[in-house]
Amino acid sequence: MKLKSLTIAIALAATSASTFAADKEEGFYIGAFGDYYDASWKNMRDQAGLDVNESTGWGVEAGYRFSDYWSARLEYADMDFNAFDKVAGNRNNIDGERYGIDALYHLDGGPFYGLFGIKEIDVVDDNTFLNAGVGYQHFITDGLFVNAETAVYQGLDRGYTDVGAKIGINYLFGQNAAPAEPVQPAPEPEVVEVAVVPADSDNDNILDADDQCPNTPMEDAVDGTGCTLYEDREVTTSLLVTFPHDSAEVGSQYFTDIASVSEFLKEHTDTTVLLEGHASAVGNANYNKMLSKKRADDVAKELVKDGIDEDRITTVGLGEERLKNTANTKAAHAENRRVEAHVKSIERVKVKR
């Protein structure tokens, strides 16, 4: 058969081409494609009055990549032609087949290629065609690639000139025929060890990696986690107001001292104050007890004026029960006419370095 002889000849030519490209990448590949064929065949030989037009179909192919530049393939396509029977006056589809062989030349070993080959198309009768065309392929992975191509078909039996196109997907097996030159490893760079000094950004002697309280003030003592140390400390304030004989009125010279106690109470809101009123031993003891209570109440009024709540103030009159000076002199009596207060609180304060 003529096609069989041509197929063997092209296969032998392709095989001989591989002998001078053995050092190039080679491999076997298979693929599938969608096919469009534009025919215009009038009055088919075996069926007068039948016109055969375009075809759509699918196909499979198997090939071999001999080198970066050359490959060859066998092709089979199942075709579905549109035909018009002028005698019967109807249009229908006619099944056909196409099979043959192609040689491909890849330009500069790149994605574009030219092709030429010979095909047998069997529809109603057999027709032999020579074909030539161009194509493009794109590798998705090392082996998987897609291709698109178009070709002109020239009939040898009846002078038909047709055009075809197809889009396919293929997989290339194999690897370089000749092993690549071994790549000499680059000399390993000399490793220079650089001493890394652990950081202590806030200079509290706790490394940053362990410091749970960064940026503590320089003057603060810190614990093992780098946080400021605190301690409980007792703080106190006192008040002493003296009075003239038989008087419970607070002298203006004591307003500053009373204001100082008010500020302490405002800063330490959990504290209260006990104002103890006293009297000298001159006069009636019961009267002195009442007078000492009145003196304590008068100091309490000044604290209230300064903004201290009444429920934080307690007053008591002790009269002459707790004499500060037991002498029977004017100086001792003046010293005993007084109101005293002693206030204390516990506050949390920073420990200094």
Give the chain's end-to-end CA distance (angstroms, integer): 108
Q: In 3D, which of 169, 110, 112 has the Cα closest to residue 143?
A: 169
- What pLDDT digit, counting tens, does each position of 170-184 carry? 998 875 545 556 777
Better pLDDT: 159 or 156: 156
Confidence of residue 78 (pLDDT cuts 50, 70, 90): very high
What is the C-alpha separation between 72 and 101, in angstroms, rounded? Answer: 7
Query: Taking the mean position of all CA atoms in its chain, how far away is CA 347?
Result: 47
Tell me: pLDDT of 297 over 90: yes
Listed in order, the ranges of the chain carrying CATH 2.40.160.20 are: 27-173
> Mean pLDDT score of the chain, rounded to an integer?
85
Correct CATH for 232-350 of 3.30.1330.60, 2.60.40.10, 3.40.30.10, 3.90.180.10:
3.30.1330.60
Whose tokens are 């006056």? That residue is 89
Kindly report the CATH class assigned to 27-173. Answer: mainly beta
Is pTM beyond 0.75? Reply is no
Listed in order, the ranges of the chain carrying CATH 3.30.1330.60 are: 232-350
Beta-carbon-side half-sphere exposure of residue 116 (alpha carbons within 13 Å): 6
What is the C-alpha separation between 258 and 266, in angstroms, rounded? Answer: 13
- What pLDDT digit, counting tens, does each position of 83-131 carry? 877 777 788 888 889 999 999 998 988 899 999 999 998 887 788 999 9
